[in-house]
Chains A and B, each alone.
Chain A
């Protein structure tokens, strides 16, 4: 980005006559759309809300960006799952990443259904969660940390200071830990199977990732004496 910007600046200096185009290029970097294009509304519920409240009239004639290829109005689409797929992705191999997460969901279903069929008790049976997306949401929720440790230098010594983190950061950490835990496995085990196991464990408030979160909280608790270094 920076390189492009400097390049554009240099271009500007060289041919000052075509300064009309350059401000746009500078503002939006690599974006193909001019600044006045608005984001698309791809969810059906939100569209219906907009129609009801009449706000759709305002948007109707504004130039709109095309929807991205992972945005759809389908009910099977889930923003959090899409985000997770992006976190799993390495080297831009999105098809692979999506396949892995989908296979993990399939495995979750198979594991839970096996439990379901083995269980004889009707009440216990009804309590077994079979929806993979719900298990995923629950798992991410259960692994979110509240506090984190930051090194702060005071008087030449680095203290690990507990600080509260933003919801977005905690969600990121939770997902990152889940992926890391799934990667720590035997060579014979598949990533998607291990991910399924980790997700099920985390959804039940058990397992390595929840342990990791609790360990972090314990460490924060132990370092509470340093908390004032945040602001003094």
Chain B
């Protein structure tokens, strides 16, 4: 009795296994990839034009080092690891900015760009593309991966010794100096990069005029206590070097509006909130984003996620930068990062399929476009379980 039941059962099971392997990817013949219109052959951001919009280009392994200490969003890094390559989509806003950077007259005061857009529309990756361009074009890169990390979740605080009422974020400042050093390794060895004035840290420690710029950076990394002051000093030195024509500078700051949002999560000992203008690091980067110097360009992004959740009301620069920020940045060139256009959407889905991240089913693109409202981040999430 049991035996006959079992045999019947095994038969039924074999049948249902056959049924469920209909969608299987295994044991299918690997077909040669056809002409891949979603992949650009041009991996050099210097040569990207509007013709390449919507295509993916690959960041070579050795150039990925500029993002070693941040610069790519975490969710994107996980994707890049799974896909076994780092590919960025060439999109209109970043190409526009790159074209502008090529055409700017660098003898005039700095030009400032503000990248804005809704949550998850690709502002940070747009900035990453511009950074890659700047690295290729041998700019001196002053890049802040995410200001929110300082204002919303700082590691350690201490009150400043040189400035009355100011707060130092020692570990964060030192970490940023390491980031700056690793991004500009090839430029810092330049013997022309010298300090223009004496820096006296304490009775015994001074950095004399004429010593190389990297010494200032190293001092901040080694002596945590002076890291924030070093950043302020470094900002002034970079401005001086650019003015004197030793280097072209690109200042890229992600989540710039966090510098103007009053309710930070930096607390003093008595749980008093420290406004961002009382943080020493703010001083340095606000000075870098002024237009009183030349031979440089400034690209910033404003993002809702850099401020507290109850104030995620609008993605527009005037709201996010508030009055003082807007006046500080004025005049600037606004760059709007939109959701995917139909062409970019198809290209992205093709890329996902080529990387074997999603499996095709009929009307997949239409369905996902509606569900994700063409938003890149939403699309990534929806495709995760397919």
- Cβ distance A70 to chain B, nearest Cβ, rounded Å: 15
| A126-B82 contact in complex given A76-B386, A106-B385, C-beta closer than 8 Å | no
Find chain B residues with CB under 8 A from A101 CB: 385
Interchain CB contact under 8 A, A113 and B82: yes
8 A Cβ contacts from B42-98 to A? 78, 82-84
Q: Which residue, of B83, B356, B361, B363, has the highest number of chain A Cβ atoms within 10 A? A: B356
Interchain CB contact under 8 A, A75 and B362: yes
Q: Decide yes or no whether B357 CB sits under 8 A from chain A.
A: yes
**Nearest CB in chain A to that of B79: its residue:** A110
Q: Decide yes or no whether B20 CB sits under 8 A from chain A.
A: yes
Q: Decide yes or no whether B26 CB sits under 8 A from chain A.
A: yes
Find chain B residues with CB under 8 A from A131 CB: 23-25, 359
Find chain B residues with CB under 8 A from A75 CB: 361-364, 367
Interchain CB contact under 8 A, A164 and B5: yes
- Which of these, B13, B29, B362, B364, contacts A144 with CB under 8 Å? B13
- Which of these, A74, A134, A146, A164, contacts B24 with CB under 8 Å? A134
Q: Decide yes or no whether A141 CB sits under 8 A from chain B.
A: yes
Interchain CB contact under 8 A, B26 and A128: yes
- Which of these, B2, B26, B367, contacts A147 with CB under 8 Å? B2
- Which of these, B82, B361, B386, contacts A114 with CB under 8 Å? B82
Q: Decide yes or no whether A122 CB sits under 8 A from chain B.
A: yes
Q: State the majority secondary structure of interface residues on A.
A: helix
> How long is the Cα–Cα vector from A227 to B1 in the complex, in angstroms?
10
Q: Decide yes or no whether B222 CB sits under 8 A from chain A.
A: no
Interchain CB contact under 8 A, A132 and B385: yes
A 106-134 binary contact with B (CB < 8 Å = 1; else 0): 10011001101100001001111111111
Q: Decide yes or no whether B200 CB sits under 8 A from chain A.
A: no
> How long is the Cα–Cα vector from A105 to B386 in the complex, in angstroms?
8
Q: Decide yes or no whether B35 CB sits under 8 A from chain A.
A: no
| A126-B20 contact in complex given A117-B84, A131-B359, A167-B12, C-beta closer than 8 Å | no
A 145-172 binary contact with B (CB < 8 Å = 1; else 0): 0110000000000000010100100000
Interchain CB contact under 8 A, A126 and B30: yes
B 149-192 binary contact with A (CB < 8 Å = 1; else 0): 00000000000000000000000000000000000000000000
B 1-34 binary contact with A (CB < 8 Å = 1; else 0): 0100110010011001100110111111110000
Q: Decide yes or no whether B384 CB sits under 8 A from chain A.
A: yes
Q: Decide yes or no whether A12 CB sits under 8 A from chain B.
A: no
Interchain CB contact under 8 A, A141 and B16: yes
> How long is the Cα–Cα vector from A37 to B16 in the complex, in angstroms?
32
| A129-B385 contact in complex given A76-B361, A113-B357, A146-B6, C-beta closer than 8 Å | no
B 371-386 binary contact with A (CB < 8 Å = 1; else 0): 0000000000000111
**How many A residues have CB within 8 A of the partner chain?**
35
**Nearest CB in chain B to that of A116: its residue:** B356
Q: How large is the interface on B (under 10, 10 to 19, 20 to 34, 35 or more residues)?
A: 20 to 34
- Cβ distance A126 to chain B, nearest Cβ, rounded Å: 6
- Cβ distance B377 to chain A, nearest Cβ, rounded Å: 15
Q: Decide yes or no whether A219 CB sits under 8 A from chain B.
A: no
Find chain B residues with CB under 8 A from A137 CB: 20
- Which of these, A106, A113, A117, A130, contacts B384 with CB under 8 Å? A106
- Cβ distance B83 to chain A, nearest Cβ, rounded Å: 8
- Which of these, A102, A125, A144, A162, contacts B385 with CB under 8 Å? A102
- Cβ distance B259 to chain A, nearest Cβ, rounded Å: 35
Interchain CB contact under 8 A, B23 and A134: yes
> How long is the Cα–Cα vector from A129 to B2 in the complex, in angstroms?
34
Find chain A residues with CB under 8 A from B384 CB: 102-103, 105-106, 109
> How long is the Cα–Cα vector from A130 to B21 in the complex, in angstroms?
12
Find chain B residues with CB under 8 A from A74 CB: 367
8 A Cβ contacts from B326-385 to A? 355-357, 359, 361-364, 367, 384-385
Q: Decide yes or no whether A138 CB sits under 8 A from chain B.
A: yes
| A110-B82 contact in complex given A75-B363, A76-B386, A132-B385, C-beta closer than 8 Å | yes
Interchain CB contact under 8 A, B23 and A133: yes
A 204-222 binary contact with B (CB < 8 Å = 1; else 0): 0000000000000000000
- Cβ distance A150 to chain B, nearest Cβ, rounded Å: 13
Find chain A residues with CB under 8 A from B356 CB: 113, 116, 130
> How long is the Cα–Cα vector from A110 to B12 in the complex, in angstroms?
32
Mind listing 6 A-B residue pairs with CB under 8 Å? Answer: A75-B364, A109-B384, A128-B26, A130-B26, A131-B359, A146-B6
What is A's interface to B at a CB cutoff of 8 Å? 74-76, 101-103, 105-106, 109-110, 113-114, 116-117, 122, 125-134, 137-138, 141, 144, 146-147, 162, 164, 167, 227
Can you name 10 extra interface pairs (CB under 8 A) apart from A75-B362, A132-B386, A164-B5?
Answer: A76-B386, A103-B384, A110-B82, A113-B84, A122-B30, A128-B26, A130-B356, A130-B359, A141-B13, A147-B2
